[in-house]
Amino acid sequence: MIVKDIGFIIRRYNFRNTSLIASIYTLNFGKIVGIFKGFYTKKREFTSHLGFCSLNEFLFYPKKREIWLISQTDLICDFSFLWKDLKKNEIATICSLLVDRMMPLWEVNKDVFFLFKQTLEYLDKKDIDIVFFTFLLKFLTFSGFKPQLNRCINCEATLIGDVFFSVGKGGLLCQKCYKKVDDWQKVSSQVGRSLLYLQDSHFPLVFNLQLAESCKKEINFILKQFLSYHLDFNFLKF
Ligand SMILES: [Zn+2]
């Protein structure tokens, strides 16, 4: 049975000389892998260039085997600003790699689809660090690795003043508990509160937050370590 759906190209590679294979994150089927036979022979059915991160409409045939045949595609949005700004491109690349790596085939998750869509849309308009941190914190929640930021992860106490982050434990610790773990790092109360605000708030409310460069560096460092430890995912360039 042929179906129609929309999705983002999150990874793509050439197959033989004429065809293209891509990971696509769709709205109604989750991650799928599709083959576009004859893509490089300029078939009329493929009016989209299927650029990295582009949003397209697809006609395809769901099957039990891993790679599905895509028979037609039309471009909806190619987010062309990504090709003019290296930093935005890097953020979009990291987000795509994470979705491709962490999302199992055919597991529908509309939260992840709309998070990815909003991330790309806001990357062009707003503070890109806040866009990136929001994506990472929400993606961790949706994929089952939510860091605990509202209470001490050890004793559940309310967090006041300076707090401590344990990557291994997966969250913040109070002033009494941090010495019980080996991998604590001190975090300013502003960074602790900012992480929690970004985790709990939605686009575009997250942009009410103003972050100093020093806070951004601290948050980037914490999230980078967290992803490396829990997801075995490293992004060294950023
Ligand atoms: Zn505690």
pTM of the full predicted structure? 0.94
Cα 186 to the chain's mean position, in Å?
26
- Beta strands 19-26 and 55-61, pairing class: unpaired
Q: How far apart are the C-alpha atoms of 123 and 121, rounded to whole Å? A: 6
Ligand 1 centre distance from Cα of residue 179 (Å): 10
Ligand 1 centre distance from Cα of residue 190 (Å): 18
Domains parsed from the chain with CATH numbers: 1-125 (2.40.50.140), 145-238 (no CATH)
- pLDDT score for 87: 95
Q: Which residues contact 146 (CB under 8 A, 6 or more apart)?
A: 140, 199
Cis-peptide into 204, omega within 30 deg: yes
Q: What is the mean pLDDT of each run of 10 residues along the chain (238 residues)?
A: 96 92 98 94 84 96 93 95 95 96 96 98 96 97 95 94 94 95 92 96 96 95 94 75
Ligand 1 centre distance from Cα of residue 121 (Å): 39
- pLDDT score for 233: 87
- pLDDT score for 238: 53
- pLDDT score for 45: 82
Residue 201: phi and psi, rounded to 5, are -100, 160
14, two tokens: 């050439």
Ligand 1 centre distance from Cα of residue 151 (Å): 8
9 closest CA partner among 23, 19, 20: 23
Ligand 1 centre distance from Cα of residue 152 (Å): 5
Ligand 1 centre distance from Cα of residue 85 (Å): 43
- pLDDT score for 237: 54
